[in-house]
Amino acid sequence: MKEYAKVLDLEGEEAVLEVRRHASCDDCGGCLETGSKKDLRVRARNPIGAKPGQMVKVEIADQKMMGAVFMVYLVPLLGFFIGYFVGSSLSTSLAWGDAELVGAGVGIAFLMASFILAREYGKRGKEEGKHQPVIKRVVDVTFADIEKANKKGGFKNE
């Protein structure tokens, strides 16, 4: 995933960036709250030495992004369904009572366990810097240019 951002501040090897929110970034967990529904603050590695005030192109590797999406959305969903079928099957074979009720209870337990697993995956990824954006280059555009280009289908040099 590639985004344009404005460098707000430097903190050691990282930069604090302002990124305009759009539909595909919803709430990946890499953002700091700014109080605005439109702007996000994101910490990114700054290997090129971008300075405050500059507009930059930021990138997160697509496969890392897809791994995060899988952990956040699909693992809990799969956990619930697997738990439901395990609980339902055990209830039926061991005569524990209402198979649907037991299945739902076990499904919810598996769902909660998968949320814990996803949270731990996110913590480990954050510690290792796996999901952290990286500043790739300084660009000569403004947020107004980006919004105008997005309405017309995006920049042609991408």
Q: In the chain, what are the domains?
A: 2-60+132-151 (2.40.50), 64-127 (no CATH)
Q: Are 45 and 61 in contact, with CB atoms under 8 Å apart?
A: no
- Name every residue whose Cβ is closer than 8 Å to that of residue 83 and which is 6 or more positions away in sequence: 103, 106, 107, 108, 109, 110, 111
3-class state of residue 7 by DSSP = strand
Tell me how far apart the alpha carbons of residues 155 and 142 are, in angstroms, rounded to a whole number.
Answer: 13
Sign, CA dihedral 29-32-38-39, equals negative
- Name every residue whose Cβ is closer than 8 Å to that of residue 61 and which is 6 or more positions away in sequence: none
Structure tokens at 58: 């930021």
Whether the model clears a pTM of 0.75, i.e. scores above it, the answer is no
Tell me how far apart the alpha carbons of residues 58 and 60 are, in angstroms, rounded to a whole number.
Answer: 7
Average pLDDT over the chain, rounded to an integer: 80
Packed helices 99-128 and 62-69: angle between N→C axes, nearest 10 degrees: 150
Sign, CA dihedral 127-133-136-138, equals negative
pLDDT digits (tens, 9 = 90+) for 19-51: 876 545 455 554 444 445 567 888 888 999 999
Structure tokens at 98: 């209402």
What is the rounded average pLDDT of the residues 61-75? 77
pLDDT digits (tens, 9 = 90+) for 86-130: 999 999 888 888 889 999 999 999 999 999 988 888 787 776 666
